[in-house]
């Protein structure tokens, strides 16, 4: 069974006004990383600073069980929020700030260099994503996976869409984070690589340009772990959605690895076409059309997402994740993603209500825990 882990990025917010607060440094000062030492069965989650001081990243350990991953996602959210409350703030799973804000950058050598080089793109980049890491046996297998999952990635963007507001305005997009993120020079879908050597050659060529050291492809080999890293998702308002997407990503990786082992060639669809699919997913989420990965033509989101489940069903079945994923998908198709829930909250009480509702949903326990326990039981 392949192991997987996730990185969730959250906004630190004022629970009264809803505004993002630049308090990551203060929050992290309350965190004791020593509790994360090896052999400590009760160790606390791993926390990290991000580009802006209004963000906090919560990182899970690798897991083989969906239930164990689900529990750590819930625990990580709860623990980080408890620290935030200690400084008068809360943690909210919002992929962009609904209220206008001028982000304050985290000061270190890496982020100072990014701010200097990318100017307004970096200064305005207050976005919270959700990254899933899945283990691979080698770089060769990892690149084979990257080549074979490309067309399915917009479906994950649609399922996670949770960023309709930007600078106090409804952007019209389900995931405006995707639009903001794609301003980075190397962001977005990549062409088929064909081999690990070709992948590393391209990364080296990009580094030689002096613009980017580690490309921000939609999916890439991790620079630190023996994993592929899928980076197209918004942070999910509902923890159950985050768990579902992690299960789908692991199943996509397993399915792609088996296709490679069986000698099935990747779809050579150009990245320019994939970019159109990513735009559709960003614009409409699950409430419009997506490009079907077999034909690259638009069909209803329900049709494409059903095709995704069918594509990875064997891997889901073998992991015991099918029931959780199918039930979660039906819930999302019926009630919408975080983007839908944010707009509903706005209709009732404006932008401050969006943030207040998001705080509640980020840490929702009764319904959310039942869903997570279902994953554990599976």
Q: Please count the CA atoms within 13 angstroms of the CA of 179 that sit on its side-chain side.
A: 20
* Per-residue model confidence (pLDDT) at position 43: 67
At residue 332, the 3 state secondary structure works out as: helix
Run of H or E including 363: none
Residues 6+ apart with CB under 8 A from 231: 129, 131, 216, 217, 218, 219, 220
Assess contact for 131 and 229: CB atoms under 8 A: yes
CB-side exposure of 109: number of CA atoms within 13 Å?
0
Q: Where are the domains of the chain?
A: 4-377
Return the biggest CA–CA distance within the chain: 57
Q: What per-residue confidence (pLDDT) applies to 35?
A: 60
Regions of the chain short of the pLDDT cut 70: 34-43, 365-378
What's this model's pTM, rounded to 2 decimal places?
0.94
Site of tokens 């991790």: 222
Q: Tokens standing for 4?
A: 């997987």
- Tell me which H or E stretch contains 284: helix 271-284
137-155 pLDDT, tens digit per residue, is: 999 999 999 999 999 999 9
Q: Which residues pair with 130 in a beta bridge?
A: 8, 233
Determine which helix (DSSP H) or strand (DSSP E) holds 209, and give its type and residue range. Answer: none
Instruction: Say which residue the tokens 């996670």 belong to.
Output: 160
pLDDT of residue 364: 87
For 347-365, write each residue's pLDDT tens digit: 999 999 999 999 999 998 6
Q: Report the CATH number of the 4-377 domain.
A: 3.30.590.20
pLDDT at residue number 42:
52
């Amino acid at each position: 069974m392949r192991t997987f882990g996730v990185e969730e990025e959250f906004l630190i917010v004022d629970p009264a006004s809803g505004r993002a607060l630049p308090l990551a440094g203060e929050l992290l000062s309350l965190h004791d990383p020593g509790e994360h030492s090896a052999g400590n069965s009760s160790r606390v989650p791993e926390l990290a600073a991000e580009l802006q001081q209004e963000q906090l990243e919560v990182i899970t350990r690798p897991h083989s069980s969906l239930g164990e991953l689900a529990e750590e996602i819930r625990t990580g959210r709860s623990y980080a929020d408890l620290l935030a409350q200690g400084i008068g703030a809360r943690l909210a799973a919002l992929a962009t700030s609904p209220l206008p804000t001028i982000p304050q950058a985290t000061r270190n050598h890496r982020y100072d260099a990014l701010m200097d080089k990318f100017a307004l793109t970096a200064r305005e980049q207050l976005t919270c994503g959700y990254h899933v890491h899945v283990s691979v046996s080698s770089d060769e297998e990892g690149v084979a996976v990257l080549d074979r999952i490309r067309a399915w990635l917009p479906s994950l963007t649609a399922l996670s869409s949770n960023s309709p507001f930007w600078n106090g305005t409804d952007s019209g997009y389900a995931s405006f984070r995707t639009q903001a993120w794609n301003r980075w020079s190397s962001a977005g879908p990549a062409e088929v690589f064909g081999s690990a050597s070709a992948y590393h050659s391209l990364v080296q060529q990009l580094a030689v340009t002096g613009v980017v050291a580690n490309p921000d492809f939609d999916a890439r080999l991790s620079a630190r772990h023996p994993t592929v890293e899928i980076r197209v998702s918004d942070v999910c308002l509902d923890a159950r959605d985050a768990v579902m997407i992690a299960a789908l990503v692991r199943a996509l990786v397993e399915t792609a690895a088996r296709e490679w082992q069986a000698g099935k060639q990747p779809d050579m669809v150009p990245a320019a076409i994939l970019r159109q699919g990513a735009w559709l997913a960003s614009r409409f989420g699950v409430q419009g059309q997506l490009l079907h990965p077999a034909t690259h033509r638009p069909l209803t989101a329900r049709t494409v997402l059903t095709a995704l489940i069918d594509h990875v069903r064997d891997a889901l079945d073998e992991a015991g994740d099918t029931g959780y994923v199918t039930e979660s998908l039906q819930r999302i198709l019926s009630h919408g993603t975080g983007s839908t829930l944010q707009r509903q909250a706005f209709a009732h009480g404006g932008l401050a209500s969006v943030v207040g509702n998001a705080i509640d949903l980020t840490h929702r326990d009764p319904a959310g825990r039942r869903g997570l326990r279902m994953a554990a039981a599976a």
